[in-house]
């Protein structure tokens, strides 16, 4: 069978500390000839330094600290192949403090191989890893009872562990467990049948991996295309770059844009310069449609008769990863597909007793605990249940104070918006405050949009109403009829000012990111808006050109763009700005904090 038609099985190895996971993977790679000669020579030298014979665990323990301590810290990915199937292995740490690494490895796996030390039997980490694998949609687990040589290859010890595991996981519905006794160091029942365990009549570990069924992990029958960015190289082309996370995309297929609800048909599906007849999950491509759709980063194209849920409130299973406990109604940043949202946990329904898998009443979650929670976001999510789609049904939570990833979540269901009659807590609701227009002006590449987005996120976290108006984004829709003459530039500023004024009157903090090179046009907007803060986002032209985030300066230097602000068209700096932020001298966080402080001082 041609190599490109081979099935692909992704699996992870997990278990408690020192169960032999790295050794087992090393043995699998060694016995299937999945190790390059130079890798093998390196492992041999490292083994000799430790005074050992060939130590196969060092094949996956790639970090120096791992080799020194003989433990796994990071997730190590390795690859091998058989005539009918390809394999990607994720070797995850056994320590409880690295549970987040286990979650990472399990999130894309089809199968879990959980090792159990024959001397120790079923441990807390065995149960925790089994539950996390099950929670992440893995329904097939191979229980590899390792180190059988240390119990004299005793059949009764193996049988007792198998019975204990079945009893411990009987509450996990639809879980299918397979068992195999091993001695990974010597290779017994790894790739070849063991002569020292004649009582075992089942397949070897490799035999199981070769024949175990692979299920479609995408789940949803509908089409999901998550937009990463909109590509506009010229006025006639509009493409949507992103990833197909469910279903198939082909020219002529009807789609609906979410959340705008616009319907259209796909006209092209392209990978680089190649047009494709169809693509399927999880390919990343550029698609075009008959109509110009109102979509941006984080939006989706979907099947019209099976769209994702649009909701600001979901029930989700949460794996808490932080040493700081969960705080109800505290602000968290949420990363979902390609979107960043602010949100809060408004309720903890229960947490799981990892010993019994029973539900326990709780109001918080501690490190490595798992629970069912209610999550609310400031903007609607476009999501599916995790059991229907792993990508659109999962998210991570980030502590905005230190940027630490505190939790991984799997959506169980979406729920309608909460009303005060529900009797739930009203903490974390949007605060009432006056509107302000914060106008960030400066050269292209100075950092206006980046600062505006950062300030907006901080304001939303604090429960305030905020909106970014990016001039580049508005030129694609509201101001797409305008060119770059002085008159058109002034009209661009005037229109943005009208929109900002309307939002400001409605109590929104508006963050405008616009070069707006003409001082008179900016002053006119200032006079029309009651509460206005002008921020000069300053950086030398050489710095902006070195950053060149959109590649515009390179096009100017090649003569492809004329009349570019700062090069062959003037930029008139503010004479008396309310705030000046020198981004070449300050970090992004400091710059964001400066603007945020000016806003909060005005609000107070």
**Cβ 121 vs Cβ 143: under 8 Å:** no
Cβ density class 266-295: b for 16+ within 10 Å, e for less: beebbeeeeeeeebebeeebbbbbeeebeb
Q: What is the DSSP string of 121-172?
A: -S-HHHHHHHHHHHHTT--EEEEEEE-GGGGTT-HHHHHHHHHHHHHHTTTS
Cα separation, 257 vs 225, whole angstroms:
10
Cα separation, 122 vs 168, whole angstroms:
8
Residue among 86, 96, 90, 94 at smallest CA distance from 75 = 90
**Hey, is 461 helix, strand or coil?**
helix
Angle ∠(592,598,599) on CA atoms, nearest 5: 90
Q: At what angle do helices 124-135 and 155-168 cross, to 10 degrees?
A: 50
DSSP H or E segment with residue 456: helix 448-461
DSSP H or E segment with residue 543: helix 541-547
Cβ density class 496-519: b for 16+ within 10 Å, e for less: bbebbbebbeeebbbbbbbbbbbe
Q: Which two tokens stand for residue 564?
A: 């570019």
**Annotated catalytic residue within 220, 449, 516, 591:** 516
Residue among 580, 455, 472, 577 at smallest CA distance from 526 = 577
| Whether residue 260 lies in the annotated active site | no
Cα separation, 466 vs 430, whole angstroms:
10
Cα 410 to its chain centre, rounded Å, is 12
Cα separation, 509 vs 507, whole angstroms:
7
Angle ∠(420,424,428) on CA atoms, nearest 5: 85
Q: What is the CA radius of gyration of the chain?
A: 28
Residue among 479, 529, 472 at smallest CA distance from 506 = 529
Cα separation, 226 vs 213, whole angstroms:
28
Dihedral over alpha carbons 505, 507, 512, 518 (to 10 degrees) = 30
In this structure, what DSSP letter does residue 205 have? Answer: H
Question: What are the distances in angstroms from CA 443 to CA 447, 543, 574?
Answer: 8, 10, 12
Angle ∠(158,159,164) on CA atoms, nearest 5: 100
**193 CB-near residues (< 8 Å, 6+ apart):** 204
Cα separation, 330 vs 345, whole angstroms:
7
Q: Is 37 exposed, middle or buried (0-12, 13-18, 19+ CB in 10 A)?
A: exposed
Residue among 558, 560, 507, 498 at smallest CA distance from 529 = 498
Query: Which residues are known catalytic residues?
Result: 516
């Amino acid at each position: 069978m041609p190599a490109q038609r081979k099935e692909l099985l992704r699996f992870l190895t997990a278990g408690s500390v020192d169960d032999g996971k790295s050794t087992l993977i090393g043995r699998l790679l060694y016995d299937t000839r999945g190790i390059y000669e130079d890798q093998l020579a390196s492992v041999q030298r490292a083994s000799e330094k430790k005074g050992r014979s060939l130590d196969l665990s060092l094949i996956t323990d790639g970090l120096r600290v791992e080799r020194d301590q003989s433990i796994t810290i990071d997730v190590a990915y390795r690859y091998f192949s058989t005539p009918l199937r390809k394999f990607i292995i994720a070797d995850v740490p056994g320590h409880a403090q690295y549970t987040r690494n286990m979650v990472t490895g399990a999130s894309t796996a089809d199968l879990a191989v959980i090792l159990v030390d024959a001397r120790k039997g079923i441990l807390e980490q065995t149960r925790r890893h089994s539950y996390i694998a099950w929670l992440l949609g893995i329904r097939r687990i191979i229980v590899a009872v390792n180190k059988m040589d240390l119990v004299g290859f005793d059949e009764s010890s193996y049988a007792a562990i198998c019975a204990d595991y079945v009893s411990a996981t009987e509450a996990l519905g639809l879980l299918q467990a397979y068992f195999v006794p091993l001695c990974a160091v010597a290779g017994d029942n790894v790739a070849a049948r063991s002569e020292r365990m004649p009582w075992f009549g089942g397949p070897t570990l490799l035999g199981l991996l070769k024949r175990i069924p692979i299920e479609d992990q995408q789940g949803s029958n509908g089409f999901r295309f998550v937009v990463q960015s909109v590509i506009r190289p010229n006025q006639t082309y509009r493409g949507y770059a992103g990833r197909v996370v469910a279903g198939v995309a082909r020219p002529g297929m009807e789609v609906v844009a979410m959340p705008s609800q616009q319907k259209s048909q796909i006209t092209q599906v392209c990978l680089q310069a190649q047009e494709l007849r169809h693509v399927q999950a999880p390919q990343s491509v550029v698609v075009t449609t008959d109509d110009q759709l109102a979509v941006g980063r984080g939006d989706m194209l979907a099947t019209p008769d099976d769209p994702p849920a649009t909701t600001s409130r979901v029930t989700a299973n949460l794996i808490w990863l932080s040493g700081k406990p969960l705080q109800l109604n505290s602000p968290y940043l949420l990363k979902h597909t390609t979107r960043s949202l602010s949100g809060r946990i408004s309720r903890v329904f229960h947490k799981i007793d990892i010993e019994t898998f029973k539900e326990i009443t709780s109001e918080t979650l501690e490190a490595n605990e798992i629970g069912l929670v209610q999550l609310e976001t400031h903007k609607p999510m476009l999501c599916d249940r995790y059991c229907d789609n792993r990508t659109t049904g999962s998210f991570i939570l980030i502590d905005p104070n230190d940027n630490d990833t505190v939790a991984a979540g799997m959506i169980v269901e979406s729920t309608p918006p909460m009303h005060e009659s529900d009797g739930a807590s009203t903490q974390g609701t949007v605060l009432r405050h006056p509107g302000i227009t914060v106008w960030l002006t400066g050269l292209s590449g100075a950092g206006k949009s980046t600062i505006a987005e950062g300030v907006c996120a901080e304001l939303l976290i604090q429960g305030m109403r905020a909106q970014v108006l990016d001039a580049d984004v508005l030129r694609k829709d509201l101001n797409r009829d305008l060119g770059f003459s002085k008159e058109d530039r002034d009209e661009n500023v005037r229109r943005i000012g009208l929109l900002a004024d309307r939002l400001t009157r409605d109590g929104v903090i508006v963050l405008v990111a616009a070069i707006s090179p003409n001082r008179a046009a900016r002053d006119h907007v200032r006079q029309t808006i009651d509460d206005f803060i002008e921020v000069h986002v300053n950086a030398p032209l050489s710095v902006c050109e070195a950053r060149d985030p959109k590649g515009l300066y390179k096009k100017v230097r090649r003569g492809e763009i004329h009349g570019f602000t700062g090069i062959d068209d003037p930029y008139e700096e503010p004479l008396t700005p309310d705030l000046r932020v020198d981004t070449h001298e300050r970090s992004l966080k400091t710059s964001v904090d400066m603007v945020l402080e000016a806003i909060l001082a005005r609000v107070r």
